[in-house]
Amino acid sequence: MYDFEEERVKQFLREHAAKRVAIQLPDGLKPYADKFVATVKDAGAEAIVLAGSCYGACDIADEMAILAKCDTLIHYGHADMGLPTRLPTLYVEARMLLDPSSALEQAVEEMEEKRVGLATTVQHLGYLQRASHVLRSKGIEPIIGGHGARAKYDGQILGCDLSCARSIADRVDNFVYIGTGLFHPLGISITTGKEVVIVNPISNSFEKLSSSRERFMLDRKAMISRASACDKFGILVSIKPGQFRPELASRLASEFRRSGRIAEILVMDEIIPEGLEDFRGFEAFVCTACPRIAIDDADRFNRPILNPFEAMVLIGRESFKPYKFDEIV
């Protein structure tokens, strides 16, 4: 299902005369760990698997690889987002070998738009041109937005970088998102105000986002309202290299204190509900780390959790509409 680019990995390891290689991979690719180890061994090196959480290229574990005495790092599943690393690092994007054309063809049957923005995550980027072709063959003009500061490719969307959608919003009637999950299409829709058709290459089906978008806005409004009854806030900072926003956290803490609330900064690696459970002194949290946490994981926290924009709404420094997705760009 994935292209793991074995030959490119071996080539890279030979070029760097790698002796001890760190392998970093997201949860979804952990079942393939033995394949990655085999590739490294084939290149004559020793493999060390970095087994912690890995949510993106923002989470690049070169420091841990150095601690584990490795000389090179292979990061699977994400595109380079330009963060500096202290070790020679190869990003293997693990493109999915699943053609979205037939799901897209079904979707197009119901579409009346003339111009459509195309966006996807790195896993499905290899099929972006094919998708453009499908749209064109049905008389729809596909427009692919230029990439932002964190995304590497045009048309590539990240949970923290919606630039490729934002940049073309006023030139398209709606968007087609190729991929899975609701978070990225929600980001596109809320940032651009446009409808998004989700074309899912795994289930080989499509759906419209619209109702989810309304529910999302209601949910977030309710979350802000729950948090506004709270006095003691934990401002969460992750030390993951591409999620680390200490200045934003300090600014938020000051603003909250100025508004008469108590706010302290909590620094951790992975921001998970279990890690906050014992901090019973805090009634609500503001997450300055990955924008997905306050949204996708909200139900797992037993206290309100806001993103920085929502926090500013709470203290009256921003208005809820137009809602702004948190981005790190």
Q: Does 242 bind a copy of itself (CB under 8 A)?
A: no
Q: Which stretch binds a copy of itself (CB under 8 A): 23-31, 100-108, 124-132, 205-213?
A: 23-31
CA-closest candidate to residue 279, choices 255, 249, 305: 305
> Least Å distance between CB 278 and a copy of itself?
3
Residue 289 found at the interface with a copy of itself (CB under 8 A): no
If one asks whether residue 43 binds a copy of itself (CB under 8 A), the answer comes out as: no
When asked if residue 264 is in the footprint of a copy of itself (CB under 8 A), the reply is yes
Binding to a copy of itself, residues 55-74 (CB under 8 A):
64, 67-69
The pattern of x and - marking residues 126 through 165 that bind a copy of itself according to CB under 8 A reads: ----------------------------------------
Q: Which residue, 256, 216, 205, 215, is CA-closest to 234?
A: 256
Q: Determine if 257 is a binding residue for a copy of itself (CB under 8 A).
A: no
User: If we measure between CA atoms, which residue out of 76, 49, 73, 51 comes closest to residue 63?
Assistant: 73
In whole angstroms, give the CA distance from residue 181 to residue 188. Answer: 13
For residue 114, count CB atoms less than 10 angstroms from its CB and return exposed for 0-12, middle for 13-18, buried for 19 or more: exposed
Q: Length of the chain in residues, anyone? A: 329
Pairwise CA distance, residues 249 & 236, whole Å:
7
Instruction: Please report whether residue 33 would count as binding a copy of itself according to CB under 8 A.
Output: yes
Phi, psi of 301 (to 5 degrees): -85, 140
239 touches a copy of itself by CB under 8 A? yes
Q: Which is nearer to a copy of itself, 281 or 322 (CB)?
A: 281
- 52 touches a copy of itself by CB under 8 A: yes
| One of 13, 18, 45, 50 touching a copy of itself (CB under 8 A) | 50
Options 50-58, 75-83, 120-128, 166-174: segment touching a copy of itself (CB under 8 A) = 50-58
Binding to a copy of itself by residue 31, rule CB under 8 A?
yes
In whole angstroms, the minimum distance from the beta carbon of 62 to a copy of itself comes to: 13
Compute the distance between CA of residue 154 and CA of residue 150 in angstroms, rounded to an integer. Answer: 11
Footprint on this chain of a copy of itself (rule: CB under 8 A): 22, 27-28, 30-34, 37, 47-53, 64, 67-69, 232, 234, 236-237, 239, 244, 246, 262, 264-270, 275-282
